[in-house]
Structure 1
Amino acid sequence: MAGTYWSTATLTGGAGNDRLDGGSGDDTYRYAAGDGADVIQDADGNDTLLLGEGISAASARTTVQSERLTLLLAGGSVEMEAKAGKLVDRIQFADGTVWHARADGSGYVQILGGPLHITGDLKQGQTVSLDTALAKQEGPGKVSYRWERSANGIDWTVIAGATEALLLLSADLVGHRLRATMQSLLEDGKQESLVSAVSETVGSAGHGPVEAVRISGELMPGEPLAVSNTAVDMQPLWSADALGSVLTPAQAPLGKLGIPWDHPGALGRSIVSSSGHDYLAGTAGADRLVGLQGHDEYIVNHVGDVIVEGLFEGIDRVYASVSHTLSDNVESLTLTGTMAIDGSGNDGPNSINGNQGDNRLSGGGGNDTLHGGAGSDTLDGGPDNDWLDGGTGSDIYLFGRGSGEDTINEADRSTAARASMDVVLLGPGIAQDDLHVSRNRWDDLILNVVGSPDKLMLSGWFAEAGSAIDQIRFRDGSVWDAAKLTERSAMATRHDDYLVGTAGPDRLEGLAGDDTYVVNHAGDVIVEKRGEGVDKVMSTVSFTLTPELEHLELTGNGNINGRGNAGANRLLGNWGRNVLDGGAGDDYLAGGGGGDTYLFGPGSGTDIIDINDGDGTDDDRIRIGTGVIEQQIWLRRVDEDLELSLFASGDKLSFKEWFADDSKRWDRMELSNGRWLGAADVDALVSAMAAFAPPLVGQAALTSSYQTALGAVIAASWH
């Protein structure tokens, strides 16, 4: 898998042994437990390797052999080139622990490890400290500290003079929350930071004085009352005189203290939360629930319940046993119980979850995530880019013009899911000719509304039966079933198409655009015309590029072969033993894993061979075409590459990084006359030939003076 040079890419190999090449940008590589033995081919740029759950820093270890570093993980490994600037810059574990590459490329160091917590008694006059799971601090840099405080949890101010791991809580910190940052200087001058979790509010030293408070609001049914109070950690009880005019607050958090106010004849309550993380449950009537700062949770059990949240007042969740629409500034809705009820979002990004019954879920504006759960649900993401999962049952997905770029992930793989009927119902104004169907290399099915930015991706549609949407229904009554969708996905367009053959012999014909063809039968035929893009073939069988095809990638683990055409081709091998022949034209050949054989000879042009024998066990060979003898081959060093010239025909072959990395070397070069040259024999020839200018192109043999000077070393090197 390769990224685009000079751009940023995210590459995930998934299960199996993969080779990942992110190019020269700032790339992210993802590896999960069980992903196999992956190789990161190119780590230029500022790159990061993200490790999934279940892979800990304590269990991971590295080994270095022949300038190749192997990161040994639970159930797999990741291999990289162990040279300065070639290792992935950062390895980040799921718990926040980060390893950094040493400047010389010899391995990794752990500077900081998380998580980081503030511990101690959060009261005035006490001392708190930082507690981290950091096992060891390596590297040259001194760890420094920065403390910050905030009265509202949003706006943060640096605490002057607080530069150690301990902090004495002064009076001016009462009523504030704290957070701290550990920083360490790396070998390359970069700085790594680890930020703590936010603390609770700092309290006063003891019991404060009795305070006068002001109650706001009117004594009207359904209206909230609030009391302002800046003291904390005091525990008097609520009390009132006979007229209800004097109130003493119970333990009051900073900010507003909610007072549930009942009034004869009122149908419900008005409840105001504190500024912390609160759990507010309404009554059996219609309630008004008011949240403040903090991540609040609301229990809604009446259709008349109203929730009030302000902007930037935390991530708030509603659990509703009745149909409910999220009010502004509330982020999440979960329907509870088994009743057939509905849930709707607001104009922000929402998470909406169905219950065990049949639900209708609507996202509204924003990028929403909808989970249907059990039951037969109807899901409508609304405008913007949404992620939809109907769960079990026969689900209906609504999609139309203006829906944005949505993704359907029917993730249930159960037998019951395969027996269900999942349908996409298209909106008005979308006819069959308006829908372009395509497939990508991750087995997703893509539906594009022609002439609009609207797009629906059916995730993993080709991969597993449980992922399959069964029908696409148009408003005129037309229906596309799975067979029709598969047929439409194989139809070429003037865009970049991903065309996959069947199990039998196929004729795949592309149009304009940079097309990718997946070949899985020796009888497959691909037809492309001149000037119709840069096209690629991915094949599980031996394949020869036909004219107007540019790239060939062999896939799987089979011992198969690849051959180019007369153009400039890029040929990539798989994990088996491959024979690669670029043919005429200037070609790039890389064999991948396994012992590979590369063909080159008169008429091959100017080719590049990029060998990657990570563990040194592969038997890689170069075969030179008929009629070439050892006295017609000239070897020289060009930077870190080894260059071979057939000076009689003018053809050249470069072996990338031959002199920089032993794993980039072939084992034998063979001639048609039976003579062969070993990798260990190259240095003597290169050293001897370096004293002379290369022979002229077209020269049939070495001159007598060259033969006199070089004949002995040539004879000794070729066996």
Structure 2
Amino acid sequence: MDTKQVFRAIVSEEAAAHSASLEKSSEPKVFQGTKGNDVYYATHTADNIVEKANEGQDTVYSNVSYTLPNNVENLVLTGSDNIYGAGNNSDNVLVGNSGNNRLYSGRGNDTVYGGAGHDNINGGEGDDQLFGDEGNDILDGAAGNDVLQGGEGNDTYLFGEKSGKDTVIDRQGSNSIRFLDGLSADDLTVTAVRNAEGGQDWRIAVKHTQSVLTISNQYQEGSNMPSVQRFVFSNGTLNLNQFIKATQAQVEIRDNAGERIEGTEGNDALNGTVGNDVIDGKAGADMMRGGIGDDTYYVDNAKDVVVENSGEGNDTVISSVSYTASTHVENVTLTGNANIYAAGNNSNNTLTGNDGHNRLNSGRGNDTVYGMGGNDNINGGDGNDYLDGGDGNDTINGDAGDDTLIGGAGKDMLKGGAGNDTYIYGSDDTIIDNQGNNTLKFSDDLRVSDIKVNVIDNADGSKNWEITSANGSAT
């Protein structure tokens, strides 16, 4: 049975709609299973299901965060809340909802579907199949030999020295590999192998381990657009050319649509082709027009101009100087470690900072912003934004819209602003928000008993809450 058949066999649209419509419970319930294929509706995180081994394929539909109990095989999250789901030691199927989910499949050979939203999926132990589906997803196969398919969106794949033999399949979006365990380019051996379809697979092996990451069809036959464009290490991010040079990779790099267009040291006017072009104006104040296709521009001069029209693709500017996305440019990635800024436009933008102290203003649209290294100042503007500060002491302002704010490492200041905002709990964070119906989310391994709340009375009559746990403290 292929993965689509697995999905259809598990998920009933009628049952999912019924689950989403149920009122969340204030008290947990206990369900007793039977020998058949049972269906349960969870409305409280602590709802308990008692099933014996070998009593059928059982499914839980849940509109709240939920962890599968023993001997229950399948979990379907419903609704649109940003909730999490976790598996058990069985071979599970987990299905996310339309929100931003965290999905942990546990032990067993599991299948996970993220659904819509920006999802964070961890396969745990076992040989798993992880599907990000829509959104900008993070996929970590963890232990075992896993298959990772991000689907639509700009996806990030995690890989370390204990990850086993994983395979990435992703021909959509602008994708990244993030290396764990302090791995550097010197720890990797990279080779290319022609596959049965005539495309080029890249194999990234961690030296002195059994771990190998295969990027299936890094280049498809007849296509010059790579599946993965960025490679993220603890000390910085490398683009494709930099990664090849740093690892001394035994691969060929193909220019998009056969066209890599480079300027001179002067002021150039460069035009792309019908296809996915890479345009680098070099020094000088350059005018660059990509045309139809998913084009990539290299900007190194504040007077460089990028021209794109509506409906001409998903375009990316990689800039070593401060840059504001021109109309119809979707993505901006800063490079180096200079303290520079990036700004979005009215589209749904993805902004990525560098290792310096950046100011990142996403503008209108439902945007995604990654601060990366440095002490960053991030502003979401209008729209429902996903704002991740990364390393450093960051200040994050959600502004208007229903935003998700993640401080990451460091002492961060999080201000959601107008709208119903979600904060991901982190150590030494300060949260300021007196607007909307807001949510503070904790990691899956924290229990209520692990959390302590200290209420501090202020001179003006207001109150601060200082929340502490084993993972740190937040105010």
Q: TM-score, normalised by structure 1?
A: 0.30
Q: What TM-score comes out, normalization by structure 2 length?
A: 0.44
Question: Which has the bigger relative contact order, CA under 8 A and spacing at least 6?
Answer: 2
